[in-house]
Amino acid sequence: HGQHAAELALQQDQLVTQHNKRTEQLMAKHQKALVKEKKQREKLSEQIHEWEDKYAKLEQEYDVKIMEYEALQQNYEQQKIEQLKKYRDMAQGYSAHGGMAASPVSPGMVAASHDTDRLRRAVAKAN
């Protein structure tokens, strides 16, 4: 009877030991998984930051290109206007002199010098 009780106690001891070992293994496995998951999260977070930086850089480059394009567009419009004024002035000069070549001082040149004076005054006032 005593031997049976001792065997039962031993069996119970082994079961407890096995259970504890198993629990430790599972905890260790769980801990490893947590560490791995944390590393993956950090890696993803880094990647997201990289992408955000790249996106911000591209957005800036895009804005610069848009501004360059708008400046070119304005420049083109300005040149077109100046060219049209030149043609108009030439035509006015030509017809004003009965079909002869335009005089050295065309109405366009006078208008342009007035524009320059106005611009100079505006710049002076701004400064």
Q: Which two tokens stand for residue 83?
A: 């060219």
Predicted local confidence at residue 29, as pLDDT:
97
Q: What does the mean pLDDT of the chain come to? A: 87
Predicted local confidence at residue 109, as pLDDT:
58
Per-residue CA distances from 43 to 8, 37, 49, 72 (Å): 52, 10, 10, 43
- Model pTM greater than 0.75? no
Q: How far apart are the first and last CA of the chain?
A: 113
Number of CB atoms found within 10 A of residue 109's CB: 14
Contacts of 108 (CB under 8 A, 6+ apart): 85, 86, 88, 89, 90, 92, 93
